[in-house]
């Protein structure tokens, strides 16, 4: 481990210990100070960001990517406003999750506590730097941020503004840290920092997430890979099914809760598929279908096995006809990423069976897959969508950034082979 990395990781660790016991008020105060500072230093932030934009342009980056990278005063104001919204959310820390007075008189409580130091590895826009730091701070955690090297100048400037803003507050300025350096090695250091970092959250594409899962000795929360399905049951309302499918695919194709495959029961295929193909065509979607789907439309592209595994994130969708609900479930289990899968049906029994058999973070019944989202679920904010089963599954809000601690209080309680004795 380089001394540079060790320095920031240890600073984060020390800050985490100071931050953890703080109640809500000083944390909210610190968040508001960060929001104010971002606005006050907008000109410097835009200047730092211009270096990233210039470098990206020199490297021939597409204008769409450059737009994702760009900060202007309006965007900085929006980032600051999002920080203020995080300050307004309830503090998850200190919540009594469970508790009881045990038969022997011990008072037992399970309290929500911060995780400690959270490492975030992300490819996204520079706003993630601030969003992630704010959510972690609100939940009492220190952050070690490792953003995209394409946004390095912006991230350095953003983290400096946040740290300086914390100087005047009760929250230690070490609570927000940027992993130094832009090389792949700095990602490796973060992944091997067991004992210094409590959890790693990779945010990005499947290859980033897989490499973190493979190489990390720090516990990882996988997020965001969404190969979502819409299954149109034999007893679906065809009109509803077409609208849900088009919404799930085309309303915002670049996000993880967009649909990537539709499956249709053979009994309803003759009615549903022609209507679906027409509506998808109108929405600009290319359908990659199996032979039976292709039989309904000349513009259907032959689907490959790989297509069924693919998170297109574009106006493309794979499609197949299935012989039963169970066959749809088997397809989803085989090809899906266990993010969100939907059924459209009028049958209560089919809905119940689908919900029971599909093993995904979210199952939608007669609704678009697009609703799997912390904002839509009422969490107020979201750090990502977990597609793993341990710790958190589905949209992760503030409580998902915490652990728990058991506290038991007695008056001299001793355990003996005959039961509890209270020391006199």
Q: How many CB atoms lie within 10 A of CB 67?
A: 10
Phi and psi dihedrals of 327, rounded to 5? -65, -40
In a 3-state reduction of DSSP, which class is residue 336? coil
Question: Minimal CA–CA distance to 115: which of 224, 223, 218?
Answer: 218
Please, what is the minimum distance in Å from the beta carbon of residue 324 to its own copies? 16
- Comparing CB distances to its own copies, the nearer of 274 and 406 is 406
Q: How far is the CB of 364 from its own copies (least distance, A)?
A: 6
Least distance from its own copies to the Cβ atom of residue 34, Å: 24
In sequence order, the 6+-apart residues with CB closer than 8 A to the CB of 336 are: 227, 228, 229, 360
Comparing CB distances to its own copies, the nearer of 115 and 130 is 115
Q: Which of residues 248 and 318 has its CB atom nearest to its own copies in the complex?
A: 248
Contact 162, 156 (CB under 8 A): no
Closer residue to its own copies (CB): 182 or 251: 251
CA distances from 205 to 187, 222, 225, 312 (A): 15, 11, 7, 11
| CA-based nearest residue to 281, from 305, 253, 250, 304 | 250
55/393 with CB nearer its own copies:
393
Tell me how far, at minimum, the Cβ of 113 lies from its own copies, in Å: 7
Supply the minimum distance, in Å, between the C-beta of residue 338 and its own copies: 10
| Closest distance to its own copies from the beta carbon of 109 (Å) | 9
Backbone angles phi, psi at 123, to 5 degrees: -110, -5
Asked if 50 and 185 count as a contact pair (C-beta separation under 8 A), the reply is: no
288 with 318: CB under 8 angstroms? yes
* CA–CA dist 204, 122 (Å, integer): 6
Shortest distance, CB of residue 209 to its own copies, whole angstroms?
A: 12
Structure tokens at 12: 């984060």
- Give me the least distance between CB of 25 and its own copies, in Å please: 15
Quick one: 76 or 343, whose CB is closer to its own copies?
Answer: 343
Strands, sheet with 176-178, edge to edge from the N-terminal-most edge strand: 176-178, 142-146, 117-122, 199-203
Q: Which is nearer to its own copies, 65 or 330 (CB)?
A: 330
- Residue (83 or 197) nearer to its own copies, CB: 197
């Amino acid at each position: 481990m380089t001394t540079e990395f060790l320095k920031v990781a240890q600073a984060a660790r020390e800050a985490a210990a100071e931050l953890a016991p703080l109640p809500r008020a000083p944390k909210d105060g610190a968040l508001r100070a960060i929001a104010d500072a971002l606005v006050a230093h907008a000109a410097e932030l835009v200047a730092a960001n211009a270096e990233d934009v210039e470098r990206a342009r020199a490297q021939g980056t597409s204008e769409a990517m450059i737009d994702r990278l760009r900060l202007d005063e309006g965007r900085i104001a929006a980032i600051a406003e999002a920080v203020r919204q995080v300050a307004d959310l309830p503090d998850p820390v200190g919540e009594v999750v469970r508790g009881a007075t045990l038969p022997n008189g011990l008072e037992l409580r399970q309290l929500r506590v911060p995780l400690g130091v959270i490492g975030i590895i992300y490819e996204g826009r520079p706003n993630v730097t601030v969003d992630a730091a704010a959510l972690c701070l609100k939940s009492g955690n220190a952050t070690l941020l490792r953003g995209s090297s394409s946004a390095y100048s912006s991230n350095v400037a953003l983290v400096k503004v946040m740290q300086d803003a914390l100087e005047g507050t009760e929250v230690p300025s070490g609570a927000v840290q940027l992993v130094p350096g832009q090389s792949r090695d700095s990602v490796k250091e973060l992944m091997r920092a067991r004992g210094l970092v409590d959890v790693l959250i990779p945010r990005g594409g499947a290859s980033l997430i897989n490499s973190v899962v493979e190489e990390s000795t720090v516990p990882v929360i996988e997020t965001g890979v969404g190969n979502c399905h819409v299954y149109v049951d034999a007893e679906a309302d065809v009109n509803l099914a077409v609208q849900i499918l088009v919404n799930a695919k085309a309303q915002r194709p670049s996000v993880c809760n967009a649909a990537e495959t539709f499956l249709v029961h053979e009994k309803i295929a003759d009615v549903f598929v022609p209507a679906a193909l027409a509506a998808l065509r109108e929405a600009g979607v290319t359908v990659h279908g199996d032979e039976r789907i292709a039989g309904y439309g000349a513009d259907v592209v032959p689907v490959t096995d790989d297509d069924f595994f693919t998170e297109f994130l574009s106006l493309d969708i794979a499609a197949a006809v299935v012989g039963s609900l169970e066959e749809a479930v088997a397809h989803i289990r085989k090809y899906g990423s266990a993010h969100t899968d939907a059924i459209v049906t009028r049958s209560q029994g089919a809905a119940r069976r689908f919900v029971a058999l599909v093993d995904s973070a979210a199952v939608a019944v007669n609704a678009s897959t697009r609703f799997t989202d912390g904002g839509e679920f009422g969490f107020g904010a979201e750090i990502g969508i977990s597609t793993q089963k341990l710790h958190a599954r589905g949209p992760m809000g503030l409580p998902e950034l915490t652990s728990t601690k058991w506290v038991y209080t007695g008056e001299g309680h001793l355990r003996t082979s005959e039961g509890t004795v209270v020391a006199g």
